[in-house]
Structure 1
């Protein structure tokens, strides 16, 4: 019994024939045409806004923002990786290294890129291949076998 039949059997108990027919077609379409590839549009239909200029942001405020941004990535792997990295290294980073880290986590639009670069699955682009990325790659290797199953507590 395929997916469309299972859905149809359960839907047949619902009142209203139009709903039944609509859902039958939808279930059939999903099952029958699931291998169709849809090409994305040539130009994006939306523009990702760039952050406001932070040229005059004090270093301590910048570090506090980076702590927050490292913890709230939207991807658990990077939440854990970057929050533990920041907890361990942010206080010792120079102003230039803080700038490099800021550009790293706020530059690429895809968090998977950062994760793949740090775990050395993909090569790091030249613009992000700096001292901070080397530190992040070493942190990702977890040579000391530290437990990183939760984010560090905020101080």
Structure 2
């Protein structure tokens, strides 16, 4: 049985706000509230794969401390735009 789109978006939004690292909770819940409902099903698939990554890796990619893997560069760039002020500045 396929999960209805609205339920999937709610599930991903909840996963975005309950990450474990407070900074990632703030960054991803903000992104999710603005973007998930406008994403295509393929984009939601990609976001779901992205969400499987470790919080520390996600934070380092979004804050620019390390480079994101090629498969996530575009998504990380989209998230990073709104994460200004929530991430540590590059050294």
- Superposed counterparts of 1:40-59, under 5 Å: 56-59=2-5
- What is the TM-score of this pair, normalised by structure 1? 0.50
Q: Deviations over 1:101-148 (max 9, x none)?
A: 111012x2x211001111111100122223x32211212226xxxxx7
> Relative contact order (alpha carbons < 8 A, sep ≥ 6): 1 or 2 greater?
2
Question: After the TM superposition, which segments of 4 or more aligned residues of structure 1 sit over 4 Å from their partners?
Answer: none
Question: Structure 1: 5+ residue runs without aligned partners?
Answer: 1-54, 143-147, 149-155
For residues 141 and 102 of structure 1, the distance between their equivalents in structure 2, rounded to whole angstroms, comes to: 23
Whose Rg is larger? 1
Question: Structure 2: 5+ residue runs without aligned partners?
Answer: 87-91
Aligned-residue RMSD, C-alpha: 1.8
Aligned residues: 86
For residues 11 and 60 of structure 2, the distance between their equivalents in structure 1, rounded to whole angstroms, comes to: 23
For residues 59 and 117 of structure 1, the distance between their equivalents in structure 2, rounded to whole angstroms, comes to: 28
